[in-house]
Amino acid sequence: IYCMFTTKSSICCTKAEVKGGQGADYMRTDIISTVEFNHTGELLATGDKGGRVVIFQREPESQTEPFSQGEYNVYSTFQSHEPEFDYLKSLEIEEKINKIRWLPQQNAAHFLLSTNDKTIKLWKVSERDKRPEGYNLKDEEGRIKDISTVTSLQVPVLKPMDLMVEVTPRRVFANAHTYHINSISVNSDYETYMSADDLRINLWHLDITDRSFNIVDIKPANMEDLTEVITAAEFHPHHCNLFVYSSSKGTLRLCDMREAALCDKHSKLFEEPEDPSARSFFSEIISSVSDVKFSHSGRYLLTRDYLTAKVWDLNMESKPLETYQVHDYLRSKLCSLYENDCIFDKFECAWNGSDSVIMTGAYNNFFRMFDRNTKRDVTLEASRESSKPRAVLKPRRVCAAGGKRRKDDISVDSLDFTKKILHTAWHPNENIIAIAATNNLYIFQDKLNSEMH
């Protein structure tokens, strides 16, 4: 009925792949900062803090080698962004890739948008599997021939060659953001896309790099009056006039571009009423929405704040439809999490293809999945030990300090807060998930229940 859950409390994972260096020493530049499947799930792109993009391609299933079927192997890798220095502000511009978004495929080539804090780039990924041979003026190595040796003319012929994947930058969309870009989203019209920074959202045409339209501006006239920033933004999957953006105060705003050129006034405001008696110093910080995603159906919104994941119905602004506790045991650790800045960690969230299960990451390389229909949830760990092929991914459990402890439970105090799973992605149609655990990429496939229900 649903993916990755069996009738027992374990999950059967028949294929697990781990990419990246082993061992505890890794460079800052190796830390994965974004993960994204393309629209068919055939390609999986990762971006890292060093500004590099690696694209994996799924091997087609073959009859002869059933166990290598469906593996993701490296397809291409390139340097997307370089570190820059803003001379005017004496500030470093990080090369870290904040987001990658694929364009829907329209011809043989694949296109993706990648962005760092300031600049968005459109990349074309194309294959070359033929090359011309038999030039008249050049020899096989490309050296110019001595013209006196040429006695006859030949027509160059296209011959097959080893597959080469070429990546070329096609557009550079620069200088439109004063603040740091946190999101990009391709519109369903396949012509435009938006980029959002802390205070503004811009609308671009994919072919035009020297102009963009500002569609949201929440910068106050006086910066002293600043109370909230934009944390994430996304276009509706089907309605090209609708988009949503989330804020650091825990609100979501749905905007309709048909209403006005500047969408400062929202069409709908989604906000859960706060319980005033429960308010604390941390309330606003932990209510900040770190990620927002439309469901594939376009009917629901999934948001992630520090401790919970929430599903909202577009037709109900007053409160979320469902609230899932991701790691409520952290509530008694908020003081130290504030001191070590972990309270500001931005976790992403994901829907499965049928919108029946949601997934998000946590600490200690744990990630969580919630089945919206059965209300069952599970905690799994991305680790090399538990990722052998055909291994059963054992559910993990965290117990509160001093609480009843079972054999394999982990105590809240033993959690490793440096091992955070911030970025996860779910294949658009199948039960395949990609989990970024610091410098390693885990790809889990559920072969038993490979189709989504």
Partner 1 sequence: MLLSSLTLICGSAEFKSFSMEDHPLPPTYSEVQEKTISPEKAEEAKLKARYPNLGNKPGGSDLLRKRLQKGQKYFDSGDYNMAKAKIKNKQLPTAAPEKTEITGDHIPTPQDLPQRKPSLVASKLAG
d(C-alpha 237, C-alpha 254), whole Å = 13
Task: Pick one of 9, 68, 297, 332: the residue that binds partner 1 (CB under 8 A).
Answer: 332
**Contact call for residue 399 and partner 1 (CB under 8 A):** no
Q: Classify burial at 406, counting beta carbons within 10 Å of its beta carbon; exposed 0-12, middle 13-18, buried 19 or more.
A: exposed
Tell me which stretch binds partner 1 (CB under 8 A): 150-158, 184-192, 226-234, 252-260. Answer: 226-234
Structure tokens at 256: 């309709």
Is 333 a binder of partner 1 (CB under 8 A)? Answer: yes
Site string for partner 1, 98-127 (x = CB under 8 A): -------------------x----------
User: What Å distances lie between residue 257 and 95, 185, 218, 270, CA to CA?
Assistant: 32, 15, 16, 18
The answer to whether 395 and 381 have CB atoms below 8 angstroms apart is no
* Among 99, 122, 126, residue whose Cα is nearest residue 110: 126
Decide whether 44 or 257 has the Cβ nearer to partner 1. 44
Report the residue number, 334 or 432, with the smaller CB distance to partner 1: 334
Interface with partner 1: number of residues (CB under 8 A): 64
* Distance of alpha carbon 269 from alpha carbon 235, whole angstroms: 16
Footprint (CB under 8 A) of partner 1, residues 422-451: 439, 441
Site for partner 1 contains 381 (CB under 8 A)? no
> Which residue lies nearer to partner 1 by CB, 137 or 223?
223
Q: What are phi and psi of 294, to 5 degrees?
A: -70, 150
Taking residues 31 to 70 in sequence order and writing x for each that binds partner 1 by CB under 8 A, - otherwise, the string is -x-------------x-x-xxx-x----------------
Q: Give the single-character DSSP code of 143.
A: P
320 sits near partner 1 (criterion: CB under 8 A): no
The binder of partner 1 chosen from 1, 91, 157, 174 (CB under 8 A):
91
Q: How is residue 220 annotated by DSSP?
A: -
Is-contact 56 70, C-beta < 8 A?
A: no
Q: Count Cβ neighbours within 10 Å for each residue of 328-349 and write b for 16 or more, e otherwise.
A: ebbeebbeebeeeebbeebbbb
Question: Which x/- pattern, by CB under 8 A, does the window 181-220 give for partner 1?
Answer: -----------------xx---------------------
Candidates 172, 174, 208, 226; binder of partner 1 (CB under 8 A) is 226
Q: Does 335 bind partner 1 (CB under 8 A)?
A: yes
Residue 337, H or E segment: helix 334-339
24 vs 278, beta carbon nearer partner 1: 278
The residue among 411 and 429 lying less far from partner 1, judged by its C-beta, is 411
Which long-range CB contacts under 8 A does 249-257 form with residues at least 24 apart? Answer: 249/284, 249/287, 249/288, 250/284, 250/287, 250/288, 250/289, 250/305, 251/289, 252/289, 252/292, 252/301, 252/303, 252/312, 254/314, 255/215, 255/216, 257/203, 257/215
- What is the bridge-based pairing of β-strands 308-313 and 300-304? antiparallel
When asked if residue 21 is in the footprint of partner 1 (CB under 8 A), the reply is yes
CB of 81 to partner 1, least distance (A): 10
Cα separation values, 378 from 325, 374, 394, 395, 419, Å: 11, 12, 9, 6, 18
For residues 145 and 137, the answer to whether their CB atoms sit within 8 Å is yes
Examine residue 93 and tell whether it contacts partner 1 (CB under 8 A): yes
Q: Which is nearer to partner 1, 79 or 154 (by Cβ)?
A: 79
| Cβ-based nearer residue to partner 1, 80 or 356 | 80
Contact between 169 and partner 1 by CB under 8 A: the answer reads no
- As measured in angstroms, the least distance from the Cβ of 153 to partner 1 is 42
Least CB distance to partner 1 at residue 417 (A): 15
- For partner 1, the binding residues in 275-304 under the rule CB under 8 A are 275-278, 280-285, 288
Which of residues 45 and 113 has its CB atom nearest to partner 1 in the complex?
45
Q: Which is nearer to partner 1, 44 or 242 (CB)?
A: 44
Q: What DSSP state is assigned to residue 344?
A: G
Q: What is the pattern of x (binds partner 1, CB under 8 A) and - over residues 71-90?
A: ---x--x-x--xx-x-x-xx
User: Where does this chain touch partner 1 (CB under 8 A) — which range of 7-15, 223-231, 364-372, 416-424?
Assistant: 223-231
Q: How many CB atoms lie within 10 A of CB 253?
A: 22
Amino acid making up residue 294: F
Interface residue with partner 1 among 61, 189, 259, 328 (CB under 8 A) is 328
Phi, psi of 277, rounded to the nearest 5 degrees = -75, -20
Residues 6+ apart with CB under 8 A from 239: 188, 298
Please report, as ranges, the residues that interact with partner 1 according to CB under 8 A. Answer: 19-21, 26, 29-30, 32, 46, 48, 50-52, 54, 74, 77, 79, 82-83, 85, 87, 89-95, 117, 179-180, 198-199, 223-229, 248-249, 275-278, 280-285, 288, 325, 328, 331-335, 338-339, 344, 439, 441
